């Protein structure tokens, strides 16, 4: 993947290491913020909800703006907004003001997503799928390193506010680095372009709105499949499979290990398959098979195997692969694609806890049956994406 945009890619991945910290920074500092504001934990959780609201609210329009003004300025805008989030939360005198800055944090996430994913796809067209998957890999590292920073501050009895200031400093310094990097030439009028990265546009005239709908729906159902696991697998393992509480946490760590393992696995698969749609189909089949095995064999071993398989098939990058395919369908609207795509996954994150909470009255077994149904729908959508990709690109 070595090319003239390699240093640009490194800068973008550094952003997402810090973003990984940003996704958990409020949850990790719940007690600190509740003491700072003099409120109960529930109020801090209300502030945390603003992150998701801000992201969903801004995803669609941020994608359109990214397509209009280009990737680099939008990424830098996202960094500035993230700095406002980190420092704004820290110095907010009330949770109400904190809510506003948390909302800004969600907007910052949307700005980064709708600028970064298109930029990576344009910078690394031959390995666009892996380039996109590495974003999630970087986020995982941020989520791993940030608790270590907190543990260091606590062990040294230092002010926990530094855990907000340090990410702000790092992402600010990275903004200076990114500002000096080269980005792929941005083409607004793609039909008149001779750029190699948009050479397939004439074939894409066959693309219809139906293809966009299928990809966006896949985002919802794939995210739903993994989010059921995130919310319920630990309980399922302990109550149905007889795993201890500590053992159920180890099982969830296998889920994260699967997500990390997916990166080199996908890299190797891209050397042996024709295109990313084949990999999406393989991972979707693995998801269905994994849920079916869990329902048939309710053992601690199967829970661990299931967690790793779902981590590989759902959390490890298949969603980024479908986004890559969607941007190949609509190369003139990569930002819009990213906006609509991740708005759909955001709706899944919001709605699945509510839906599964209702299903819980029928037991954990029925929640996993629901997960199987969701995975089957995702598989059907993956088959459609595979067929449409084959017809359009050959």
pLDDT in tens, 22-81: 888 988 898 899 999 999 988 988 898 888 888 888 887 888 888 888 899 989 999 999
Domains of the chain: 6-180 (1.20.1250.20), 207-393 (1.20.1250.20)
Sequence-separated (6 or more) residues with CB below 8 Å from residue 161: 90
pLDDT tens digits, residue range 352-380? 888 888 898 999 999 999 999 999 999 99
- Max mean pLDDT among 12-26, 75-89, 272-286 falls in 75-89
pLDDT tens digits, residue range 191-244? 555 444 444 444 455 667 889 999 999 999 998 998 888 778 888 998 899 888
Say if residues 40 and 163 touch (Cβ distance below 8 Å): no
Residue 52's nearest CA partner among 110, 7, 97, 93 is 110
Q: 4, exposed or middle or buried, with CB in 10 Å at 0-12, 13-18, 19+?
A: exposed
Q: How many CB atoms are located within 10 Å of the residue 188 CB?
A: 11
CA distance 326 to 332: 11
pTM listed for this prediction:
0.79
204 compared with 292, residue with greater pLDDT: 292
Q: Output the pLDDT for position 199.
A: 42
Q: How far is CA 126 from CA 120, 121, 245, 321, in A?
A: 11, 9, 44, 13
Residue 391, both tokens: 């017809």
CA distance 77 to 95: 25
Helix (H), strand (E) at residue 260: helix 245-269
Q: How confident is the model at residue 1 (pLDDT cuts 50, 70, 90)?
A: very low
Per-residue pLDDT averaged across 163-184, rounded? 96
Residue labelled with tokens 């003491």: 35
Sequence-separated (6 or more) residues with CB below 8 Å from residue 31: 41
Q: Output the pLDDT for position 191.
A: 52
Residue 4, both tokens: 């003239």
């Amino acid at each position: 993947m070595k090319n003239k945009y390699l240093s640009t890619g490194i800068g973008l991945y550094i952003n997402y290491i810090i973003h990984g910290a940003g996704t958990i920074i409020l949850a990790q500092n719940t007690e600190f913020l509740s003491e700072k504001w003099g409120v109960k934990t529930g109020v801090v959780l209300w502030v945390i909800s603003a992150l998701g609201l801000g992201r969903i609210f801004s995803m669609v329009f941020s994608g359109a703006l990214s397509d209009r003004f280009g990737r680099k300025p939008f990424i830098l805008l996202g960094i500035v907004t993230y700095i406002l989030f980190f420092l704004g939360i820290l110095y907010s005198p009330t949770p109400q003001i904190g809510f506003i800055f948390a909302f800004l944090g969600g907007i910052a996430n949307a700005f980064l997503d709708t600028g970064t994913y298109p930029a990576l796809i344009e910078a690394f067209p031959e390995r666009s799928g892996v380039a996109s998957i590495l974003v999630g890999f970087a986020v995982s590292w941020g989520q791993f390193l940030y608790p270590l920073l907190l543990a260091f501050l606590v062990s040294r009895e230092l002010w926990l506010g530094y855990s907000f200031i340090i990410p702000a400093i790092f992402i600010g310094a990275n903004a200076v680095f990114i500002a000096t990097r080269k980005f792929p030439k941005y083409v607004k009028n793609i039909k008149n372009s001779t750029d190699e990265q948009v050479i397939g546009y004439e074939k894409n005239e066959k693309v219809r709105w139906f293809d966009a709908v299928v990809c966006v729906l896949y985002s919802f159902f794939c995210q739903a499949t993994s989010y059921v696991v995130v919310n319920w697998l630990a309980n399922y393992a302990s109550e149905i499979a007889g795993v201890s509480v500590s053992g159920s946490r180890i099982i969830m760590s296998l889920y994260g290990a699967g997500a990390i393992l997916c990166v080199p696995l996908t890299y190797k698969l891209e050397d042996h398959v024709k295109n990313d749609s084949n990999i999406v189909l393989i991972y979707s089949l693995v998801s269905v098979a994994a849920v079916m095995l869990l329902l048939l064999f309710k053992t601690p071993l199967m829970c661990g195997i299931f967690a790793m398989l779902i981590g590989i098939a759902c959390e490890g990058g298949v969603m980024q692969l479908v986004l890559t395919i969607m941007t190949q369908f609509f190369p003139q609207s990569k930002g819009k694609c990213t906006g609509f795509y991740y708005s759909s996954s955001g709706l899944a994150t919001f709605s699945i806890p509510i839906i599964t909470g209702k299903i819980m009255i029928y037991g954990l077994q029925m929640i996993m049956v629901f997960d199987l149904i969701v995975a089957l729908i995702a598989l059907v959508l993956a088959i459609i994406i595979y067929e449409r990709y084959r017809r359009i690109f050959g």
